[in-house]
Structure 1
Amino acid sequence: MTRYTATAIVLHWLVAALIIATFALGLTMVDIPGLTPTKLKYFSWHKWLGVTVLGLACLRLLWRKTQGVPPYPDSMQAWQQNAAHALHILLYILIFAVPLSGYFYSLASGVPVVYLGIIPLPVLIAPNPELKTLLKLVHYTLNMSMLACVCVHVLAALKHHFIDRDGILKRMLP
Protein backbone atom coordinates (compact mmCIF):
# COMPACT_ATOMS: atom_id res chain seq x y z
CA MET A 1 0.00 0.00 0.00
CA THR A 2 1.51 3.32 -1.08
CA ARG A 3 -1.55 5.52 -0.55
CA TYR A 4 -4.36 5.78 1.93
CA THR A 5 -7.63 4.16 0.92
CA ALA A 6 -10.35 6.29 -0.65
CA THR A 7 -12.40 5.96 2.55
CA ALA A 8 -9.48 7.13 4.69
CA ILE A 9 -8.90 10.09 2.37
CA VAL A 10 -12.57 11.14 2.44
CA LEU A 11 -12.72 10.81 6.24
CA HIS A 12 -9.47 12.77 6.66
CA TRP A 13 -10.59 15.73 4.55
CA LEU A 14 -14.16 15.70 5.84
CA VAL A 15 -13.02 15.72 9.47
CA ALA A 16 -10.45 18.42 8.66
CA ALA A 17 -13.07 20.63 7.02
CA LEU A 18 -15.53 20.13 9.88
CA ILE A 19 -12.86 20.92 12.48
CA ILE A 20 -11.99 24.14 10.66
CA ALA A 21 -15.68 25.08 10.40
CA THR A 22 -16.31 24.25 14.06
CA PHE A 23 -13.27 26.23 15.17
CA ALA A 24 -14.23 29.26 13.06
CA LEU A 25 -17.81 29.12 14.27
CA GLY A 26 -16.61 28.85 17.88
CA LEU A 27 -14.47 31.97 17.52
CA THR A 28 -17.34 33.83 15.85
CA MET A 29 -20.03 32.91 18.35
CA VAL A 30 -18.07 33.84 21.47
CA ASP A 31 -17.45 37.32 20.05
CA ILE A 32 -21.18 38.04 19.71
CA PRO A 33 -22.18 40.20 22.69
CA GLY A 34 -25.16 39.23 24.80
CA LEU A 35 -27.48 36.31 24.29
CA THR A 36 -29.00 36.84 20.85
CA PRO A 37 -30.94 34.41 18.65
CA THR A 38 -27.99 34.36 16.25
CA LYS A 39 -25.57 33.48 19.03
CA LEU A 40 -27.83 30.68 20.26
CA LYS A 41 -28.16 29.34 16.70
CA TYR A 42 -24.36 29.39 16.28
CA PHE A 43 -23.91 27.57 19.60
CA SER A 44 -26.29 24.85 18.40
CA TRP A 45 -24.49 24.53 15.07
CA HIS A 46 -21.13 24.43 16.87
CA LYS A 47 -22.34 21.57 19.06
CA TRP A 48 -23.80 19.69 16.10
CA LEU A 49 -20.53 20.00 14.21
CA GLY A 50 -18.61 18.85 17.28
CA VAL A 51 -20.80 15.76 17.67
CA THR A 52 -20.39 15.03 13.95
CA VAL A 53 -16.60 15.33 14.24
CA LEU A 54 -16.65 12.95 17.19
CA GLY A 55 -18.74 10.39 15.29
CA LEU A 56 -16.59 10.62 12.17
CA ALA A 57 -13.45 10.39 14.31
CA CYS A 58 -14.72 7.08 15.67
CA LEU A 59 -15.25 5.82 12.11
CA ARG A 60 -11.87 7.13 11.05
CA LEU A 61 -10.02 5.47 13.91
CA LEU A 62 -11.84 2.20 13.30
CA TRP A 63 -10.98 2.38 9.60
CA ARG A 64 -7.34 3.13 10.37
CA LYS A 65 -7.09 0.21 12.81
CA THR A 66 -8.66 -2.26 10.37
CA GLN A 67 -7.09 -1.05 7.10
CA GLY A 68 -3.67 0.13 8.24
CA VAL A 69 -1.64 3.01 6.89
CA PRO A 70 0.94 3.18 4.11
CA PRO A 71 4.55 3.04 5.29
CA TYR A 72 6.73 6.11 5.27
CA PRO A 73 9.21 6.32 2.40
CA ASP A 74 12.64 4.85 3.09
CA SER A 75 14.14 8.28 2.50
CA MET A 76 12.36 9.66 5.60
CA GLN A 77 14.65 9.72 8.61
CA ALA A 78 13.70 7.70 11.70
CA TRP A 79 13.32 10.81 13.89
CA GLN A 80 10.90 12.30 11.35
CA GLN A 81 8.89 9.09 11.26
CA ASN A 82 8.75 9.07 15.07
CA ALA A 83 7.74 12.74 15.17
CA ALA A 84 5.04 12.18 12.54
CA HIS A 85 3.71 9.16 14.44
CA ALA A 86 3.66 11.11 17.73
CA LEU A 87 1.88 14.04 16.08
CA HIS A 88 -0.74 11.73 14.57
CA ILE A 89 -1.39 10.19 17.99
CA LEU A 90 -1.71 13.65 19.53
CA LEU A 91 -4.08 14.79 16.77
CA TYR A 92 -6.29 11.75 17.29
CA ILE A 93 -6.37 12.39 21.04
CA LEU A 94 -7.36 16.00 20.43
CA ILE A 95 -9.96 15.08 17.79
CA PHE A 96 -11.71 13.13 20.56
CA ALA A 97 -10.86 15.36 23.54
CA VAL A 98 -12.01 18.67 22.05
CA PRO A 99 -15.62 17.67 21.32
CA LEU A 100 -15.86 15.66 24.56
CA SER A 101 -14.65 18.63 26.59
CA GLY A 102 -17.19 20.84 24.81
CA TYR A 103 -19.94 18.31 25.50
CA PHE A 104 -19.13 18.18 29.20
CA TYR A 105 -18.73 21.97 29.32
CA SER A 106 -22.23 22.32 27.89
CA LEU A 107 -23.63 19.85 30.43
CA ALA A 108 -21.83 21.54 33.33
CA SER A 109 -23.39 24.80 32.09
CA GLY A 110 -26.81 23.20 32.40
CA VAL A 111 -27.40 23.15 28.66
CA PRO A 112 -28.09 19.69 27.24
CA VAL A 113 -26.83 18.80 23.76
CA VAL A 114 -29.58 17.92 21.30
CA TYR A 115 -27.97 16.72 18.07
CA LEU A 116 -29.49 18.47 15.05
CA GLY A 117 -32.23 19.69 17.38
CA ILE A 118 -33.73 16.17 17.29
CA ILE A 119 -31.62 13.64 19.18
CA PRO A 120 -30.97 14.45 22.85
CA LEU A 121 -27.59 13.17 23.98
CA PRO A 122 -27.36 11.66 27.46
CA VAL A 123 -26.95 14.05 30.34
CA LEU A 124 -23.99 12.47 32.11
CA ILE A 125 -23.30 15.20 34.67
CA ALA A 126 -25.43 17.70 36.54
CA PRO A 127 -24.99 21.45 36.12
CA ASN A 128 -21.96 22.54 38.11
CA PRO A 129 -20.67 26.16 38.07
CA GLU A 130 -17.18 25.23 39.30
CA LEU A 131 -16.81 22.43 36.76
CA LYS A 132 -18.23 24.72 34.07
CA THR A 133 -15.41 27.22 34.66
CA LEU A 134 -12.77 24.48 34.56
CA LEU A 135 -14.22 22.80 31.46
CA LYS A 136 -14.43 26.11 29.61
CA LEU A 137 -10.67 26.54 30.14
CA VAL A 138 -10.00 22.91 29.22
CA HIS A 139 -12.06 23.20 26.02
CA TYR A 140 -10.28 26.42 25.03
CA THR A 141 -6.82 25.03 25.81
CA LEU A 142 -7.47 21.82 23.90
CA ASN A 143 -8.71 23.85 20.92
CA MET A 144 -5.60 26.02 20.88
CA SER A 145 -3.45 22.89 21.19
CA MET A 146 -5.27 21.36 18.25
CA LEU A 147 -4.75 24.54 16.23
CA ALA A 148 -1.01 24.37 16.93
CA CYS A 149 -0.85 20.66 16.03
CA VAL A 150 -2.83 21.16 12.83
CA CYS A 151 -0.48 23.98 11.81
CA VAL A 152 2.56 21.75 12.41
CA HIS A 153 0.85 18.91 10.50
CA VAL A 154 0.08 21.14 7.50
CA LEU A 155 3.55 22.71 7.48
CA ALA A 156 5.18 19.28 7.65
CA ALA A 157 3.01 18.03 4.77
CA LEU A 158 3.95 21.08 2.68
CA LYS A 159 7.64 20.63 3.53
CA HIS A 160 7.49 17.02 2.38
CA HIS A 161 5.68 18.03 -0.81
CA PHE A 162 7.67 21.08 -1.88
CA ILE A 163 11.11 20.54 -0.33
CA ASP A 164 11.60 16.79 0.17
CA ARG A 165 9.37 15.82 -2.78
CA ASP A 166 8.90 12.39 -1.22
CA GLY A 167 5.22 11.80 -1.98
CA ILE A 168 3.98 11.99 1.63
CA LEU A 169 1.27 14.54 0.82
CA LYS A 170 0.18 12.73 -2.35
CA ARG A 171 -0.75 9.67 -0.26
CA MET A 172 -3.63 11.68 1.26
CA LEU A 173 -4.73 13.66 -1.81
CA PRO A 174 -7.83 12.52 -3.71
Structure 2
Amino acid sequence: MEKYTKTAVALHWLIALLIVAAFALGMTMTDIPGLTPTKLKYFSWHKWLGVTVLGLAALRLLWRLTHRAPALPAGLMPAWQIKAAEALHGLLYILMFAIPLSGYFYSLSAGVPVVYLGVLPLPVLIDPNPELKPVLKAVHYWLNMGLLAAVILHVAAALKHQFIDRDGVLKRMLP
Protein backbone atom coordinates (compact mmCIF):
# COMPACT_ATOMS: atom_id res chain seq x y z
CA MET A 1 0.00 0.00 0.00
CA GLU A 2 1.25 3.44 -0.97
CA LYS A 3 2.33 5.68 1.94
CA TYR A 4 2.28 9.41 2.50
CA THR A 5 5.54 11.25 1.79
CA LYS A 6 8.03 11.65 4.63
CA THR A 7 7.32 15.37 4.63
CA ALA A 8 3.56 14.81 4.96
CA VAL A 9 4.11 12.29 7.77
CA ALA A 10 6.51 14.61 9.62
CA LEU A 11 4.13 17.58 9.34
CA HIS A 12 1.15 15.45 10.43
CA TRP A 13 2.80 14.20 13.61
CA LEU A 14 4.54 17.47 14.47
CA ILE A 15 1.32 19.46 14.10
CA ALA A 16 -0.60 16.80 16.06
CA LEU A 17 1.92 16.99 18.91
CA LEU A 18 1.83 20.79 18.96
CA ILE A 19 -1.98 20.83 18.92
CA VAL A 20 -2.13 18.41 21.86
CA ALA A 21 0.40 20.56 23.75
CA ALA A 22 -1.46 23.81 22.97
CA PHE A 23 -4.80 22.27 23.97
CA ALA A 24 -3.42 20.89 27.25
CA LEU A 25 -1.70 24.18 28.02
CA GLY A 26 -4.88 26.11 27.19
CA MET A 27 -6.95 23.98 29.54
CA THR A 28 -4.30 24.28 32.27
CA MET A 29 -3.75 28.03 32.04
CA THR A 30 -7.45 28.89 32.10
CA ASP A 31 -7.84 26.94 35.35
CA ILE A 32 -5.22 29.05 37.13
CA PRO A 33 -7.03 31.70 39.20
CA GLY A 34 -6.00 35.32 38.92
CA LEU A 35 -3.19 36.77 36.87
CA THR A 36 -0.01 35.08 38.06
CA PRO A 37 3.45 35.03 36.47
CA THR A 38 2.94 31.32 35.73
CA LYS A 39 -0.38 31.98 34.01
CA LEU A 40 1.16 34.77 31.92
CA LYS A 41 4.03 32.49 30.93
CA TYR A 42 1.59 29.73 29.92
CA PHE A 43 -0.45 32.23 27.87
CA SER A 44 2.70 33.20 25.98
CA TRP A 45 3.65 29.59 25.35
CA HIS A 46 0.09 28.81 24.25
CA LYS A 47 0.18 31.68 21.75
CA TRP A 48 3.59 30.61 20.45
CA LEU A 49 2.30 27.08 19.92
CA GLY A 50 -0.74 28.45 18.11
CA VAL A 51 1.35 30.61 15.79
CA THR A 52 3.64 27.65 15.10
CA VAL A 53 0.66 25.40 14.32
CA LEU A 54 -0.70 28.06 11.97
CA GLY A 55 2.61 28.32 10.11
CA LEU A 56 3.08 24.57 9.89
CA ALA A 57 -0.55 24.12 8.80
CA ALA A 58 0.10 26.55 5.94
CA LEU A 59 3.16 24.53 4.94
CA ARG A 60 1.17 21.32 5.23
CA LEU A 61 -1.63 22.68 3.07
CA LEU A 62 0.86 23.83 0.43
CA TRP A 63 2.50 20.39 0.51
CA ARG A 64 -0.88 18.69 0.23
CA LEU A 65 -1.93 20.87 -2.71
CA THR A 66 1.24 19.94 -4.59
CA HIS A 67 1.48 16.26 -3.54
CA ARG A 68 -1.55 14.03 -3.84
CA ALA A 69 -2.54 11.76 -1.00
CA PRO A 70 -1.84 8.09 -1.59
CA ALA A 71 -4.82 6.34 -3.12
CA LEU A 72 -6.75 3.83 -1.07
CA PRO A 73 -6.77 0.36 -2.55
CA ALA A 74 -9.90 -0.19 -4.61
CA GLY A 75 -12.77 -1.72 -2.69
CA LEU A 76 -11.08 -1.30 0.68
CA MET A 77 -13.70 1.03 2.15
CA PRO A 78 -17.34 1.74 1.37
CA ALA A 79 -17.95 5.00 -0.49
CA TRP A 80 -19.64 6.58 2.54
CA GLN A 81 -16.52 5.98 4.67
CA ILE A 82 -14.29 7.55 2.04
CA LYS A 83 -16.58 10.62 1.88
CA ALA A 84 -16.70 10.80 5.70
CA ALA A 85 -12.89 10.59 5.89
CA GLU A 86 -12.52 13.34 3.28
CA ALA A 87 -15.01 15.54 5.16
CA LEU A 88 -13.25 14.95 8.48
CA HIS A 89 -9.85 15.74 6.98
CA GLY A 90 -11.31 18.93 5.48
CA LEU A 91 -12.71 19.90 8.88
CA LEU A 92 -9.35 19.25 10.54
CA TYR A 93 -7.61 21.51 8.01
CA ILE A 94 -10.18 24.27 8.57
CA LEU A 95 -9.73 24.02 12.34
CA MET A 96 -5.91 24.09 12.07
CA PHE A 97 -6.35 27.59 10.63
CA ALA A 98 -9.49 28.81 12.39
CA ILE A 99 -8.36 28.06 15.94
CA PRO A 100 -5.04 29.92 15.90
CA LEU A 101 -6.63 32.83 14.03
CA SER A 102 -9.54 33.04 16.49
CA GLY A 103 -7.05 33.00 19.38
CA TYR A 104 -4.97 35.70 17.69
CA PHE A 105 -7.98 37.96 17.20
CA TYR A 106 -9.23 37.21 20.71
CA SER A 107 -5.87 38.33 22.09
CA LEU A 108 -5.92 41.49 19.97
CA SER A 109 -9.51 42.28 20.99
CA ALA A 110 -8.32 42.06 24.62
CA GLY A 111 -5.62 44.61 23.84
CA VAL A 112 -2.81 42.08 24.19
CA PRO A 113 -0.47 41.92 21.19
CA VAL A 114 1.05 38.60 20.17
CA VAL A 115 4.85 38.59 20.21
CA TYR A 116 6.07 35.31 18.72
CA LEU A 117 8.75 33.69 20.87
CA GLY A 118 8.96 36.97 22.76
CA VAL A 119 10.87 38.65 19.91
CA LEU A 120 8.69 38.94 16.79
CA PRO A 121 5.62 41.17 17.22
CA LEU A 122 2.80 40.07 14.95
CA PRO A 123 0.78 42.78 13.23
CA VAL A 124 -2.04 44.34 15.20
CA LEU A 125 -4.94 43.91 12.77
CA ILE A 126 -7.75 45.06 15.07
CA ASP A 127 -8.00 47.53 17.91
CA PRO A 128 -8.93 46.42 21.42
CA ASN A 129 -12.65 45.76 21.47
CA PRO A 130 -14.39 44.90 24.76
CA GLU A 131 -17.60 43.92 22.92
CA LEU A 132 -15.82 41.55 20.54
CA LYS A 133 -13.57 40.00 23.17
CA PRO A 134 -16.17 37.65 24.77
CA VAL A 135 -17.45 36.62 21.33
CA LEU A 136 -13.96 35.68 20.13
CA LYS A 137 -13.23 33.95 23.43
CA ALA A 138 -16.33 31.78 22.95
CA VAL A 139 -15.50 31.15 19.29
CA HIS A 140 -11.96 30.07 20.22
CA TYR A 141 -13.26 27.79 22.97
CA TRP A 142 -15.97 26.12 20.88
CA LEU A 143 -13.68 25.66 17.88
CA ASN A 144 -11.31 23.85 20.25
CA MET A 145 -14.12 21.66 21.55
CA GLY A 146 -15.00 20.86 17.93
CA LEU A 147 -11.37 20.01 17.28
CA LEU A 148 -11.32 17.72 20.31
CA ALA A 149 -14.37 15.86 18.95
CA ALA A 150 -12.88 15.69 15.44
CA VAL A 151 -9.53 14.40 16.72
CA ILE A 152 -11.25 11.74 18.84
CA LEU A 153 -13.19 10.62 15.75
CA HIS A 154 -10.02 10.70 13.61
CA VAL A 155 -8.07 8.60 16.13
CA ALA A 156 -10.99 6.19 16.58
CA ALA A 157 -11.19 5.68 12.81
CA ALA A 158 -7.43 5.10 12.58
CA LEU A 159 -7.59 2.55 15.42
CA LYS A 160 -10.57 0.85 13.78
CA HIS A 161 -8.58 0.47 10.58
CA GLN A 162 -5.59 -0.86 12.50
CA PHE A 163 -7.20 -3.28 14.94
CA ILE A 164 -10.62 -4.19 13.52
CA ASP A 165 -10.29 -3.91 9.75
CA ARG A 166 -6.56 -4.70 9.75
CA ASP A 167 -6.35 -3.05 6.35
CA GLY A 168 -3.05 -1.16 6.67
CA VAL A 169 -4.63 2.30 6.28
CA LEU A 170 -2.94 3.60 9.45
CA LYS A 171 0.49 2.43 8.27
CA ARG A 172 0.30 4.98 5.43
CA MET A 173 0.80 7.78 8.00
CA LEU A 174 3.25 6.08 10.37
CA PRO A 175 6.93 7.10 10.28
TM range (shorter): over 0.9
The whole-number CA distance in structure 1 between the counterparts of 2:94 and 2:124 is 23
Tell me the CA shift for residue 73 of structure 1. Answer: 2.4
Contact 1:73 1:166 in 2 (8 A): no
Q: Measure the CA separation in 2 of the matches of 1:62 and 1:43.
A: 29
1:166 and 1:79 mapped to 2: Cα distance?
A: 17
Identity of matched residues, %: 75
1:149 aligns with 2:155: no
| Unaligned stretches of 5+ residues in structure 2 | none
- Match of residue 8 from structure 2: 8
| Other-structure match for 1:161 | 162
Describe how 1:81-120 pairs up with structure 2 within 5 A.
81-120=82-121
User: Following the alignment from structure 2 to structure 1, what is the Cα–Cα distance between the partners of residues 78 and 67?
Assistant: 24
TM-score (norm 1): 0.99
* Counterparts of 1:130 and 1:77, CA distance in 2: 47
Q: Calculate the TM-score normalised by the size of structure 2.
A: 0.98
Aligned to 1:42: 42
1:98 partner amino acid:
I
Q: Which runs of 5 or more residues in structure 1 are unaligned? A: none
The one-letter code matched in structure 2 to 1:33 is P
Structure 1 contact 54–95 (Cα < 8 Å) conserved: yes
Code of the residue aligned with 1:29 in structure 2: it is M
**Displacement, 1:28?**
0.3
Letter aligned with residue 124 of structure 1:
L
Query: Which residue identity lines up with residue 96 of structure 1 in the other structure?
Result: F
- The runs of at least 4 consecutive aligned structure 1 residues that moved more than 4 Å come to none
Q: Which secondary structure state, in structure 2, belongs to the residue aligned with residue 4 of structure 1?
A: coil
